[in-house]
């Protein structure tokens, strides 16, 4: 019989406010005395208060360092707090989209996802704890705020005696506790998601297109959780030779890399694609929800363009056939490329703050069917998370239906809808004070009497601090970014990242829309906007930096 104990704590923590997508902290921070217990107890209590009856909880993770220490801790604390059914991915692995699928299809109350997504892992890296609610999506602000409030004054946590659950074997362990029986099931973390994808896409059609045309494709799982899924879907189902699937073994430190699928951190895939050997390449992040799409010779598809192209090619994806297409959503800093498609095809369009959680209520209310973000996230209402492998399969569906290359698809899209030249400049690892100073500088231009300089050779039409009212729940989100819009529709947006684990990262989003068939280097074309951004933010003087850390 496992006995439960209420452990009184002496230390409470005031820094456990979840960010854009859960609590993300350096491993060393979460290893402090009672730090993780403090957050978990607050989370479990909040779930019990909000959902008094359902006690079925999923526990997933991206395989990063410290996950296998925290999983048994969650089992012990959940059991002591009255949870009755706990589902864990084999080896503790469950990608974020797979968690969302499982929660939805198996009526879980929600899931605890141990992931810091694209942030580096290992003992000196980051750790993350995220909660997803019963619709399978990230907890909305109302839930994370309730958790945060509890963390600040916590004085105890509940836990049962140590348990031994073999995570490497699928099966069930029934724990007899003084709270009653608790079933702990270790399941295949891929199956449910894989089956769902099989109902959305015509996988045999993609397979035969690749085989008949001798088309080579490659995927880079960046040593994150997607590796086994990539082997199953790309390898077993689509027939891709496993030697073309790289970094597919999940590693606790992601092999020392930064598992963020962008041009900088996925440089290995970019180089591979430049060899011209592959027609299509995709990289995924640590927890498998982000994707980067590349065409032959390294042709880069910006995430904003990816969303627009998929929206314009819905007919290539069987899931959308015969289903009402409700509309499309994009986050504020995502370019307006999809807006052009929505306008032409008569779809409604919603502009939300950054964070997938803002799409959930719109999908639940059947107001959007498809959404995406500039931060390499794309997905549909099949789940409530962005879904990296879904995006790859959406692209392969388009290529196999239209029988043309990635570059041809994108260039014909630009011809039809115009082109949004787009880039994001990140200034990472600033101090919190420097971040606040930059945001205060740009925010000062929202005042009605502020004199705003020219953006290149055009005047600025407006400068606003973006706020959002969820049309379904009425929830408000304030201070979501400062947006400068020129008279010709160019935008420069400033925002503080919400996924870092310390200090501040300023993101500057730059967007110029052209219908004139302009060609040329994106950074050159955006240069007047960069100059404007530097002028209004004074970021170089404030940060002492002469260039962004990352340009994507
Ligand atoms: C998370 C959210 C995304 C969001 C991104 C923004 O991504 O899930 O919806 O776009 O953060 O990050 P930041 O606040 O740093 O700009 P992920 O993949 O880290 O979970």
Please list the active-site residues.
Answer: 117
Q: What is the DSSP string of 61-101?
A: E---TTHHHHHHHHHHHHHHTT--EEEEEGGG---HHHHHH
Q: Whose CA is nearest to atom 12 of ligand 1?
A: 499
**What pLDDT score was predicted for residue 476?**
94
Report pLDDT digits (tens) over 195-214: 999 999 999 999 999 999 99
**What pLDDT score was predicted for residue 515?**
85
Of 355, 374, 378, the residue with max ligand 1 atoms within 8 A of its CB, to mutate for a pocket test, comes to 355
**What pLDDT score was predicted for residue 372?**
98
pTM attached to this predicted model: 0.95
**What pLDDT score was predicted for residue 483?**
98
Q: Which residues neighbour 62 within 8 Å (Cβ) at sequence distance 6 or greater?
A: 93, 95, 96, 113, 114, 115, 116, 117, 121, 224, 225, 250, 286, 287, 288
**What pLDDT score was predicted for residue 371?**
98
Cβ-based neighbour number of residue 176 at 10 Å: 10
**What pLDDT score was predicted for residue 370?**
98
Cβ-based neighbour number of residue 421 at 10 Å: 21
Decide whether any atom of ligand 1 lies within 6 Å of the 258 Cβ. Answer: no
What structural domains and CATH numbers belong to the chain? 4-189 (3.40.120.10), 192-417 (3.40.120.10), 419-551 (3.30.310.50)
Residue recorded with tokens 């101090």: 431
Element (H, E) at 175: strand 171-177
Q: Which two tokens stand for residue 549?
A: 């850390």
List, for the chain, all residue ranges whose pLDDT scores fall below the cut of 50.
none
Of 356, 427, 550, the residue with max ligand 1 atoms within 8 A of its CB, to mutate for a pocket test, comes to 356
Decide whether any atom of ligand 1 lies within 6 Å of the 290 Cβ. Answer: yes
Report pLDDT digits (tens) over 488-521: 999 999 999 988 878 999 999 999 998 877 788 9
**What pLDDT score was predicted for residue 323?**
86
DSSP H helices, 213-356, are: 227-230, 267-274, 303-312, 337-345
**What pLDDT score was predicted for residue 548?**
95
């Amino acid at each position: 019989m496992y006995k439960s104990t209420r452990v009184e704590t002496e230390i409470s923590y005031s820094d456990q406010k979840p960010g854009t997508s859960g609590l993300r902290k350096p491993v060393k921070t979460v290893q402090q005395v009672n730090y993780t217990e403090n957050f978990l107890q607050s989370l479990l209590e909040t779930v019990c208060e909000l959902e008094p009856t359902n006690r079925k909880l999923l526990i997933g993770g991206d395989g990063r360092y410290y996950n296998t220490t925290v999983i048994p801790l969650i089992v012990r604390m959940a059991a002591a707090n009255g949870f009755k059914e706990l589902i864990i991915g084999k080896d503790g692995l469950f990608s974020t989209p797979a968690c969302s699928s499982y929660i939805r299809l198996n009526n879980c109350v929600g899931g605890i996802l141990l992931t810091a997504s694209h942030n580096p892992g290992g003992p000196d890296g980051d750790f993350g704890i995220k909660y997803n609610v019963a619709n399978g999506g990230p907890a909305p602000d109302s839930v994370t705020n309730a958790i945060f409030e509890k963390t600040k004054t916590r004085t105890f946590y509940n836990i049962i005696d140590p348990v031994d659950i073999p995570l490497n074997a699928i099966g069930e362990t029934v724990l007899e506790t003084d709270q009653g029986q608790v079933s702990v099931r270790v399941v295949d973390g891929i199956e449910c998601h894989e089956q769902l994808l099989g109902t959305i896409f015509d996988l045999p059609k993609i397979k035969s297109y690749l085989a008949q045309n001798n088309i080579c494709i490659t995927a880079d799982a960046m040593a994150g959780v997607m590796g086994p899924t990539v082997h199953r879907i790309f390898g077993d189902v689509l027939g891709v030779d496993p030697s073309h699937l790289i970094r597919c073994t999940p590693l606790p430190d992601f092999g020392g890399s930064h598992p963020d699928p962008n041009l900088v951190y996925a440089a290995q895939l970019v180089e591979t694609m430049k060899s011209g050997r592959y027609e299509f390449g995709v990289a995924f992040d640590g927890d498998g929800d982000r994707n980067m799409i590349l065409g032959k010779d390294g042709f880069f598809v910006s995430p904003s363009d990816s969303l627009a192209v998929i929206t314009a090619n819905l007919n290539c994806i069987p899931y959308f056939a015969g289903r009402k297409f409700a509309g499309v959503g994009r986050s504020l800093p995502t370019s307006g490329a999809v807006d052009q498609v929505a306008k032409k095809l008569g779809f409604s369009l919603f502009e939300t703050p950054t964070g997938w959680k803002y799409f959930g209520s719109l999908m639940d209310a059947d107001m959007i069917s498809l959404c995406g973000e500039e931060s390499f996230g794309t997905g549909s209402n099949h789940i409530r998370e962005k879904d990296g492998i879904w995006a790859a399969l959406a692209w392969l569906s388009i290529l196999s239906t239209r029988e043309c290359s990635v570059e041809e698809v994108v260039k014909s899209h630009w011809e039809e809808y115009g082109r949004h030249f787009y880039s994001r400049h990140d200034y990472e690892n600033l101090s919190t004070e420097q971040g606040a100073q930059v945001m205060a500088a740009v925010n000062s231009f929202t005042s009605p009497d502020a004199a705003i300089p020219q953006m290149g050779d055009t005047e600025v039409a407006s400068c606003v601090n973006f706020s959002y009212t969820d049309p379904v729940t009425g929830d408000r989100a304030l201070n979501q970014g400062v947006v400068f819009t020129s008279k010709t529709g160019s935008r420069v947006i400033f925002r503080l990242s919400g996924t870092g684990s310390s200090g501040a990262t300023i993101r500057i989003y730059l967007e110029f829309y052209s219908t004139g068939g302009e060609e040329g280097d994106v950074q050159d074309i955006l240069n007047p906007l960069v100059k404007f951004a530097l002028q209004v933010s004074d970021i170089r003087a404030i940060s002492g930096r002469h260039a962004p850390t990352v340009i994507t």
